[in-house]
Structure 1
């Protein structure tokens, strides 16, 4: 019986430790210019999920070109993206970002 208990705990631990952030489609833009976030100064990347915006950790607004480009810059437009990550302490910790437009 003791061995079954230990094996069960081991399987549970392995199942939990292999969890991967799910992919989801979000709106991606400047948190200050497009989503109205005010807790940081300057222009910073943010995601909007279910009508709520969160600043992003793990990607920078300047990684995707000129943030102020009138056609594609995050300070000017809201773009769709497929991301992997998770919400931690009211911030979105991103591991991958793929722009969809």
Structure 2
């Protein structure tokens, strides 16, 4: 029985998403700060290696008021620890943690 449990755990561990991006990135409003124009209104985006992507999975106001003068994503670019995948030109976020 122990061998079956250990084997099952090893199989589950090996099935993790190997393409998942985990790194620090710039987080802000795609339209106001990164110059993206494929959506109307303000939307959360990240920038990795000078390429910006709209984010799915989190909203622009999930981290406070987007138009707050000193911390809002429409006003400033912030740093964040991000994880997720890029699919069809969008960042599918599994986690975003603002670090500044």
TM-score over 0.5 (shorter chain): yes
* Count of aligned residue pairs for this structure pair: 90
CA positional deviation for 1:28: 0.2
Judge which range, 35-44 or 21-30, deviates more.
21-30
Alignment pair present for 1:79 and 2:78: yes
Equivalences for 1:22-41 in 2 at 5 Å?
A: 22-41=21-40
For residue 8 of structure 1, what is the aligned residue in structure 2? none
Alignment pair present for 1:18 and 2:13: no
CA positional deviation for 1:18: 1.9
Q: Which has the larger radius of gyration?
A: 1
Richer in helix (by share): 1
For residue 91 of structure 1, what is the aligned residue in structure 2? 90
Distance 2:48 2:39 in 1: 19
What TM-score do the two structures reach when normalised by structure 2?
A: 0.83
CA positional deviation for 1:23: 1.6
CA positional deviation for 1:55: 0.2
Distance 2:92 2:36 in 1: 17
CA positional deviation for 1:56: 0.2
Runs of 4+ in 1 over 4 A off after TM superposition: none
CA positional deviation for 1:22: 3.6
Structure 2 unaligned runs (5+)? 1-9
CA positional deviation for 1:67: 0.3
